[in-house]
Amino acid sequence: MVFAGCFAAACAANVYAIAVYRTSWSELFTQIGYVAIISVVLYLLCWIVRLAVRLVIHVRRILK
């Protein structure tokens, strides 16, 4: 579910860029590889943040 959100965010950024730079809407499909790569990067960033939060929570429980 998180990856779907990352993919949707990358697609939204692609649509925004197409609209702002007034390029062809065919780029929505031709740039899907870049969208997939950006989705994976966003997912990894979310994963790192979630891991950091879990580690902080775990350490706080141990220190109590």
pLDDT of res. 64: 83
**Of 64 and 42, more confident:** 42
Query: Binning pLDDT at 50, 70 and 90, where does residue 56 land?
Result: very high
pLDDT of res. 46: 97
Contact between residue 6 and residue 42 where contact means Cβ atoms under 8 Å apart:
yes
Distance, CA of 45 to CA of 11 (rounded, Å): 17
- Asked if the model's pLDDT at residue 34 lies above 90, the reply is yes
Single pTM value for the model: 0.82
Query: Binning pLDDT at 50, 70 and 90, where does residue 30 land?
Result: very high
